[in-house]
C-alpha cells in the first residue's frame, strides 16, 4: 500500500531556536553583524549575510556557534548585484550545521517567523550574545524595494542582527534579515515615542536566482518566480508604503496604504501602518481611527495599543492613553518603550511616584534606553531631587553622547542649584548637537543674565525668539520677547 504524502511539520519555537543557533554566525569587523552558514565544501564554509555588514574592506572574523574565530579573506567576499547580500567564506576542519533552504514564495502574511542574530555589545551587555526572536509575517511582496527587500515582519530585533537568519516554522531559511525598526530613528511626539515594528528581509529565492549565475560552483539552483503581472497585490502596496514611510514620504505612503486597504478592507496591518503615518503627520484623529480599526481586526497586537496610547497622549487624553498602555503591557510585558511611554503619561498627570516606577521598569528591561534615564531625571527634577536628576541625565549622556536633551536638562538642573558655569557648558553642548534647539538658547540666555552678561543674554534670547517663531510656538515666542524687554 502506498505511503500517503506527508506535509512538512511545524516545529516548536524551541526546536527552531536550536536550529537557528547552530547555523547563525557572528561577523566581527568594522561593521559587525551576523550571517548564516549555507554551504560546506570540504573544509570551506560559505556564509550568506547582508552586504552592508561587510561593506568596508577590513579585517573580519567569522565567529561560529562554538565560539571559535575564523579569519575571513576579504578578497573572496562576493557582493551580489543590486541586492543587499554578500557571500563570505571561512575554513575549518570542524563540522558545523548548514541551514536548510526553504521557499520564500510560500511565506504568507500572518505566518510565524523567527529571526536569529548577534546584537551589538552595549554598555550594559558588553559581549555580543546570540538573540532569537519570534514574530509574524506582515507582507511578502513580489515587487521588492531597493536592495531586494520584500519581506516585512514584526519581530523584535536589534542592531547587529543584520545578515542573520530568518526562518520559517519548519526551521528553514527563507530570508536574510537586513533592516530593523531598532536601526531606524524612533519617531518622537512630544515626550512619548512610537515603535513601528517594521523589519525587512531579502527573500532566499532572490539569493538563489542570483547565486546560480554568480557562484555556480556552490551548486544552488535558481527558482522560477511567480509572475508579478501589472496588478499590484495588497502585499505589494503595503511594502511600497512601508518603504516610503521609512524615507519620510508620508503623503505618498498613505496613498499606498489606501490601495492595500481597498484590496483587503480587513487588513489590520495596513490600517496600523496608515495610522503610524497619520501620526507622523500629526493628524492624530485620523491615526486614532485607523489604530482602532486595526485593533478591531487584530486585538492581540500589542504595538497597536502602544502607539494608540502615544496618539492619545499627543491629544492630552491621558486616561485613554493609560488604558492602551496597560492593555499593551498586558499582552507584551517585555516592551521597555511601553513602560517609558506610560511613565511619561503619569508624569504629565503629575503622578510622579508611578512615573518613576515605570521609568525604572523600562530601564530594567533595557539598561541602554537613554530616554528613560532622561525622563526619569525630569521627574526627579520636578520633585526637586536634583542630585538624582543629575545622576540620570549623566547616565543618559554616557549611553549616547550625541543626545542633546539630557545636556539641556542637566543644564537646567545645574541652574536650579546655582552652578551656572556648569549649566552654560551643558547648554553649549546641547546647542552644538542641535543648533535649532530653541529652549537651550533661551535657558542659556537666562543663565547669562544671571551672571551679568547682558549682551550674550540678549543675543541668545533673540535667537530663541526667532526659532520659536519658526517652529510655530507662539506662547514661547512671546515669552522670549517679554524676557528681552526686561533685560
351-363 per-position pLDDT tens digit: 999 999 999 999 9
- Mean pLDDT (whole number) for 122-144: 81
Task: Give residue 477's pLDDT band: very low, low, confident or very high (50, 70, 90).
Answer: confident
For residues 413-429, b (16+ Cβ closer than 10 Å) or e, as one string?
bbbeeebbebbbebbeb
Is residue 189 pLDDT above 60, yes or no? no
Lowest mean pLDDT among 117-126, 278-287, 410-419: 117-126
Residue 448 lies in a domain: yes
Helix (H, G, I), strand (E, B) or coil at 61: strand
Say how far residue 246 (Cα) sits from the centre of its chain.
11
- Name the packing angle between helices 336-348 and 370-382 (round to 10°): 20
Q: In this predicted model, which residue has the larger pLDDT, 131 or 451?
A: 451
**Nearest residue to 211 via CA among 148, 275, 270, 290:** 148
Is 249 part of a structural domain of the chain?
no
- Domain membership of residue 470 (yes or no) is yes
Q: How many domains does the chain have?
A: 1
pTM for the model stands at 0.81
91 inside domain: no
What gap in Å lies between CA 474 and CA 471, rounded to an integer? 9
CA angle 84, 168, 211 (to 5 degrees): 35
Q: How far apart are CA 376 and CA 171, in angstroms?
A: 42
User: Taking 80 as the threshold, does the pLDDT of residue 187 lie above it?
Assistant: no
Kindly state whether residue 303 falls inside one of the protein's structural domains: no
Is residue 381 within a helix (H) or strand (E), and if so which, with residue range?
helix 370-382
Q: Are 405 and 376 in contact (CB under 8 A)?
A: no
Whether 478 maps to a domain, the answer reads: yes
Q: Does any domain span residue 186?
A: no
Residue 228 has pLDDT above 80, yes or no: no
Residue 406: pLDDT over 80: yes
CATH of the domain at 430: 1.25.40.10
The reply to whether 25 falls in a domain is no
pLDDT band for position 122 (50/70/90)? low
Quickly count: other Cβ atoms within 10 Å of residue 182's Cβ. Answer: 17
Q: Is the pLDDT of residue 182 over 50?
A: no
- The whole-number pLDDT of residue 212 equals 82
Q: Which domain holds residue 348?
A: 343-485
Residue-wise pLDDT tens digits, 32-71: 899 999 999 999 999 999 999 999 888 899 999 999 999 9
pLDDT for the residue numbered 1 = 38
pLDDT at 194 exceeding the cut of 80? no
CA-wise closest residue to 276 among 323, 314, 332, 322: 314
What is the DSSP secondary structure assignment for residue 101, as one 8-state letter? B
Beta strand segments in 228-306, E: none
Dihedral, CA atoms, 124, 128, 134, 138, nearest 10 degrees?
100
Amino acid at each position: 500500500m502506498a505511503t500517503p504524502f506527508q506535509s512538512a511539520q511545524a516545529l516548536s519555537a524551541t526546536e527552531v531556536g536550536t536550529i537557528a543557533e547552530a547555523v547563525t554566525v557572528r561577523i566581527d569587523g568594522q561593521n559587525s553583524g551576523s550571517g548564516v552558514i549555507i554551504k560546506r565544501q570540504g573544509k570551506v564554509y560559505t556564509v550568506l549575510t547582508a552586504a552592508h555588514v561587510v561593506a568596508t574592506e577590513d579585517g573580519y572574523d567569522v565567529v561560529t556557534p562554538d565560539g571559535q574565530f575564523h579569519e575571513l579573506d576579504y578578497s573572496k567576499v562576493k557582493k551580489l548585484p543590486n541586492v543587499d547580500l554578500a557571500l563570505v567564506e571561512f575554513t575549518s576542519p570542524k563540522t558545523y550545521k548548514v541551514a536548510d533552504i526553504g521557499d520564500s514564495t510560500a511565506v504568507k502574511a500572518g505566518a510565524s517567523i523567527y529571526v536569529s542574530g548577534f546584537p551589538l555589545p552595549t554598555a550594559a551587555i558588553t559581549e555580543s550574545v546570540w538573540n532569537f526572536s519570534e514574530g509574524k509575517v506582515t507582507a511578502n511582496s513580489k515587487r521588492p524595494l531597493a536592495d531586494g527587500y520584500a519581506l516585512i515582519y514584526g519581530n523584535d530585533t536589534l542592531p547587529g542582527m543584520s545578515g542573520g537568519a530568518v526562518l520559517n516554522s519548519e526551521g528553514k531559511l527563507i530570508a536574510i534579515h537586513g533592516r530593523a525598526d531598532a536601526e531606524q530613528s524612533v519617531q518622537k511626539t512630544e515626550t512619548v515615542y512610537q515603535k513601528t515594528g517594521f523589519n525587512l528581509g531579502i527573500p532566499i529565492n532572490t539569493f538563489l536566482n542570483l547565486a546560480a549565475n554568480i557562484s555556480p560552483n556552490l551548486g544552488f539552483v535558481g527558482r522560477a518566480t511567480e509572475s508579478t503581472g501589472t496588478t499590484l497585490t495588497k502585499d505589494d502596496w503595503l511594502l511600497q508604503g512601508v518603504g516610503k514611510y521609512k524615507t519620510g514620504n508620508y503623503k505618498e505612503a498613505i496613498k499606498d496604504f489606501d490601495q492595500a486597504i481597498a484590496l483587503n478592507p480587513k487588513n489590520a496591518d495596513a490600517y496600523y501602518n496608515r495610522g503610524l503615518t497619520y501620526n507622523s503627520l500629526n493628524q492624530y484623529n485620523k491615526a486614532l481611527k485607523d489604530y482602532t480599526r486595526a485593533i478591531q481586526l487584530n486585538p492581540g497586537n500589542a504595538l497597536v495599543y502602544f502607539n494608540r496610547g502615544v496618539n492619545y497622549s499627543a491629544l492630552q487624553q491621558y486616561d485613554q492613553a493609560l488604558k492602551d498602555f496597560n492593555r499593551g503591557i498586558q499582552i507584551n510585558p517585555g516592551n521597555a518603550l511601553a513602560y517609558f511611554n506610560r511613565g511619561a503619561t503619569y508624569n504629565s498627570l503629575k503622578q510622579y511616584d508611578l512615573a518613576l516606577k515605570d521609568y525604572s521598569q523600562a530601564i530594567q528591561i533595557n539598561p541602554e534606553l537613554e530616554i528613560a534615564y532622561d525622563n526619569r531625571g525630569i521627574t526627579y527634577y520636578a520633585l526637586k531631587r536634583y542630585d538624582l536628576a543629575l545622576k540620570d541625565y549623566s547616565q543618559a549622556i554616557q549611553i549616547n553622547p550625541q543626545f542633546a536633551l539630557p545636556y539641556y536638562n542637566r543644564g537646567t538642573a545645574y541652574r536650579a542649584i546655582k552652578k551656572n558655569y556648569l549649566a552654560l557648558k551643558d547648554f553649549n553642548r546641547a546647542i552644538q548637537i542641535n543648533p535649532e534647539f530653541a529652549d537651550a538658547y533661551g535657558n542659556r540666555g537666562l543663565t547669562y543674565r544671571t551672571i551679568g552678561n547682558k549682551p550674550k543674554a540678549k543675543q541668545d534670547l533673540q535667537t530663541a525668539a526667532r526659532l520659536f517663531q519658526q517652529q510655530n510656538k507662539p506662547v514661547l515666542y512671546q515669552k522670549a520677547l517679554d524676557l528681552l524687554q526686561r533685560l
